[in-house]
Structure 1
Amino acid sequence: MRRGIAALTLAAAITVSLTACGSDGSSGAAGSGPVTITWWDTSDATNEAPTFKVMVADFEKANPDVKVTYVNVPFADAQSKFQTAAGSKGAPDVLRADVGWTPAFAEAGYLAPLDGTDAAKDAAAFQPNLVRQAEYQGKLYGIPQVTDTLALMYNKELFAKAGITAAPTTWDELKADAAAVKEKTGVDGFAFNPQGYYAMPFLYGEGTDMIDVDGKRITVNSPAAVKGIDTLKALVASPGVAKLDTTSNGYADVMDAFGSGKAASIVQGPWESANVFKSQAFLKNDNLGIATLPAGSAGKAGAPLGGHNLVAYAGSDAAHQAAAQKFIAFMTSANSQVYTAGKNSTLPTRTDAYTPEVTRNLGIAGYQKVLASGQPRPELAQYSSLYDPLGTELIKILSGQESTKAGLDNVAAAAKKLIPDYATR
């Protein structure tokens, strides 16, 4: 039975004065009735959006002074559409923004700071490393709505058949485990999705990143980064590891192999948990193991933090911004996050939303344990744009078409074009 979001005490308690005039073309001028705000939701239209539509209706019931025009915008189009709309002063009052977009939009002046507003009144309840991804130059520009990170997903039954009693803690241990699984069960012990985002743990494992913000340097081709990608290259070429799939269907093929029991482990995020639990190998949900990714030679384990922030458009007038703040507070409240987690199997961003009800979901409980190893993205507007050149060169490197150093030098050159004020090696 659906839980009663309309009864959320936090949202009901928030009071905001909505006395200013409405934005051009929007309803809600002073004394004329409810203020109407527009929300662009970038969630999956089929699997996630229905949950948010219910929450919008519940918000309106609890807050009759605000109406919400809900628009589902495909995630792939949302960044460019918001940029265009914001540039012409026609952007939505609230946007569900990927964490990687927040610095760029803030730098462009498209977002309203939320420090000291009702939207941020519970900021202390959110996990600090997630709040960092909503900040830019000392100001808070978003409230974390949902988060994710990468972990090692593994098939406990296949590991047990190979005599493996615990998840690997180093990449060398994973290589040995993959070989053992292949020898004892005949299936691949590990499969890797060759995209730039999935390669980041190998950089973090060597204590480096693609860039160094404090030193304003491009580090993606540093000796440490080369060592990290060399570790990945050796891993995917090891016995017991699935042949690298560089086709356009590579992602789906890796997931199919894992779900059917033809691959014993993968690097993946919680957004696939619900699908994994529906697959043949994991109909018994407790067969899925979720562990912190192995550490590199620096003794560090790390994975990129992802997720989405709710941000407010700076071009809205005072009345619409106040209504937007009220809406953001409602949608990111503890009760709202409990409801969202229950319906969409996504990870809350607040510590008080990990209730016993939520953590009964084994996927959420598993990823909650690995969130501490998540690495916030640097506060750089262009950072997320570096994943594409890294992914392009990664395929060439892992396929033996070019050396690791040459490929990463190409990534560094692409980065230099994006951030010309950063020094290269």
Structure 2
Amino acid sequence: MRRGIAATALVASIALAATACGGSDSGDKADGPVTITWWDTSNASNESPTYAALVKEFEKANPTIKVKYVDVTFDQAQNKFDTAAGSKGAPDVLRSEVGWTPAFAKKGYFLPLDGTAALADQAKFQPSLIKQAQYDGKTYGVPLVTDTLALVYNKKLFADAGITAAPTTWDELKADAKIIKAKTKADGFWLNTASYYAQPFLYGEGTDMVDTASKKITINTAAAKKGLATWQSMFSGTGLHKADITADAYAHIEDAFVNGKVASIIQGPWEITNFYKGTAFADKSNLGVAVLPAGSSGSSGAPTGGHNLSVYAGSSKDKQDAAIKFVAWMTSAKTQTKIALKNATLPTRSDAYTAAVTADPGVAGFQSVLTSAQPRPELPEYSSLWGPLGTELTALAGGKESLDKALSNSETAMAKLLPDYTK
């Protein structure tokens, strides 16, 4: 997926760290502008042009600061920053995925921003998003964009099948998929096998991968097993697409959805602009967005994602001051509104949801489901847990191992990442 939620562990690029870093930049003159480096991890084709243009606007409004804009591939950025920060060569500002923020804060790589201009408007931000930017009582990032997962669907295909409302339970979704297949020949539902997309099935049973309060790994409990048994059942049955465990699965699912070959999928707002490029959504109003179906607990939930802007603790004082000013400007209501209008992403502050922003049916739809999103626990290793779970779910979806074995293996792998947690 675009944001690669559990970042792929790739070897860091030494060349990039050497040439695109803020901490080692020696190009500033004593009496000239301060130059800071920003590593942006947004999509290079759909989103980066907006951010590059905003950098120019910032420089024009702040002539004493220059911003070296570097677009870094998302699934490589976590490892590259980790390596660069460890050698004192990191960028002055990082667009940090919310799961990375506490992990890097724990290592001392991020500057606490409490009491700075970057958080002057803190009350305007959604409280749960500020919480996700915190570690050990301090705030290490300012929310730039947010997201969550929802059931996105093709209103016309649903209507052609005589279905007038989005399903509210997984059983209803299965029944709707069967009707859609019979009436329209399109598949009713196609589920991504990545572990991030399995998270709602855990929430639907009132559980999670871990319980941070009791410091216990809960992926192999009865509740988790029930939720992931439901997840497994979504790959077989009339109108349900079989599991795609190929490397190009994400692209296959997206292509099928935007071109009307499948009526519904689970997806996030980062794909809104791509939805509109497909034949099925040339009329934007055909895009439906609904809260994910509930599990047997009767509740529905989806993970809260997004990105913060964080400042490198290893930068010089003048660069940190400039970086804080840049972060405040980039996360202001005016700038967030511009980003939302250009990229169809979700703002993190209430005053950026203007009438123009919510005129986009995709943005308005995802805004309406944000209340069901659950913030990640304050656990630096949390996002890393999706890695071992994903490996096991792929094997499970491919019929190579049982659910019991998949959860047992996941529990064992998670215990290695969380040695102070009990099973």
Q: Same fold (TM over 0.5)?
A: yes
Assess if the C-alpha contact under 8 Å between 1:221 and 1:409 holds in 2. Answer: yes
Which residue of structure 2 lines up, in the alignment, with residue 122 of structure 1?
A: 121
Q: Residue 28 of structure 1: CA displacement? A: 5.0
Partners of 2:261 and 2:386 in 1: CA distance? 29
Q: Distance in 1 between matches of 2:399 and 2:44?
A: 39
Alignment gaps of 5+ in structure 2 = 1-21
Correspondence for 2:407: 408
User: SS of 2:232's equivalent?
Assistant: helix
Residue in 2 that maps onto 1:87: 86
Q: Per-residue deviation at 1:313? A: 0.5
SS in structure 2 opposite 1:38? strand
Q: Which amino acid aligns with 2:174?
A: K
Output the CA distance in 2 between the equivalents of 1:314 and 1:344: 30
CA deviation after TM superposition for structure 1 residue 23, in Å: 6.4
Residue pair 2:302, 2:374 contacting (<8 A) in 1 also? yes
Written as runs of structure 1 = structure 2, the 5 A alignment for 1:244-393 is 244-393=243-392
Q: Is the 8 A contact 1:97 1:311 kept in 2?
A: yes
Aligned to 1:5: none
What is residue 67 of structure 1 aligned with on the other side? 66
Q: CA deviation at 1:348?
A: 0.8
- CA deviation after TM superposition for structure 1 residue 24, in Å: 5.8
Instruction: Output the amino acid matched with 1:90.
Output: G
| Structure 2 equivalent of residue 58 of structure 1 | 57
CA distance in structure 2 between the aligned counterparts of 1:420 and 1:113, rounded to whole angstroms: 27
TM superposition score normalised by structure 2: 0.92
Amino acid in structure 2 at the alignment position of 1:371: L
* CA distance in 2 between partners of 1:250 and 1:41 (Å): 25
Deviation at 1:229, TM superposition (A): 0.4
Cα distance between partner residues in 2 of 1:130 and 1:138: 14
CA distance in 2, matches of 1:54, 1:235: 42
1:97 counterpart = 2:104: no
Q: What CA deviation, in whole Å up to 9, does each residue of 1:330-370 have, x standing for no partner? A: 00000101111111111111111010111111111110001
Letter in 2 for 1:259: V
C-alpha RMSD of matched pairs (Å):
1.4
Q: Which residue of 2 aligns with 1:14?
A: none
Give the direction of change, closer, same or farther, for the CA distance of 1:111–1:261 in structure 2 (3 Å limit).
Answer: same
5+ long unaligned stretches in structure 1: 1-21
| Kept in 1: contact 2:37–2:67 (CA 8 A) | yes
CA distance in 2 between partners of 1:399 and 1:278 (Å)? 31
Q: Per the alignment, do residues 256 and 23 of structure 1 end up closer, same or farther by CA in structure 2, a change over 3 Å counting?
A: closer
Q: Tell me if the contact between 2:309 and 2:327 (Cα under 8 Å) persists in the aligned partners.
A: yes
Q: Is the 8 A contact 2:23 2:90 kept in 1?
A: no
Query: How far apart, CA to CA, are the structure 2 residues paired with 1:24 and 1:142?
Result: 22
Given that residues 96 and 310 in structure 1 are in contact (C-alpha distance below 8 angstroms), is that contact kept between their aligned partners in structure 2? yes
Name 2:7's counterpart in structure 1.
Answer: none
Q: Secondary structure at the match of 2:304?
A: strand
Distance in 2, matches of 1:23 and 1:389, equals: 34
Contact 2:155–2:286, Cα closer than 8 Å, also in 1: yes
**Cα distance in 2 for residues equivalent to 1:251 and 1:311:** 29
Q: 1:401 to 1:25 in 2, by over 3 A?
A: closer
Tell me the amino acid that sits aligned with residue 200 of structure 2.
Answer: P
Give the equivalent residue in structure 1 for 2:41.
Answer: 42
Match of 1:396 in 2: 395
CA contact (8 A) 1:181 1:187 kept: yes
- Cα distance in 1, alignment partners of residues 209 and 395 from structure 2: 18
Q: Is the 8 A contact 2:154 2:288 kept in 1?
A: yes
8 A Cα contact 2:50 2:343, kept in partner: yes
Counterpart CA distance in 1 for 2:125 and 2:380 is: 23
> Matches of 1:255 and 1:55 in 2, distance apart?
29
Map Cα deviations across residues 47-88 of structure 1 (whole Å, 9 max, x no partner). 211111111111111112211111111112211111111111
Helix, strand or coil at the partner of 1:96: strand
Q: Distance in 2 between matches of 1:119 and 1:340?
A: 18
Measured after TM superposition, the shift of residue 204 of structure 1 is: 0.5
Q: What's the CA shift for 1:420?
A: 0.8
1:381 Cα offset (Å) = 1.4
In the alignment, does 2:249 pair up with 1:241? no
Whole-angstrom distance in 1 between the partners of 2:127 and 2:387: 28
Q: Percent of aligned pairs with the same residue?
A: 60
Contact 1:27 1:34 in 2 (8 A): no
TM-score (norm 1): 0.92
CA distance in 2, matches of 1:139, 1:131: 10
User: How far does the alpha carbon of each residue in 1:114-153 deviate from its partner, in whole angstroms, 9 at most, with x for none?
Assistant: 0000000011111111111111111100001011111001
Letter of the 1:147 counterpart: T
Counterpart code for 1:189: G
Amino acid aligned to 2:121 = D
| Separation in structure 2 between the aligned mates of residue 266 and residue 247 of structure 1, nearest angstrom | 17
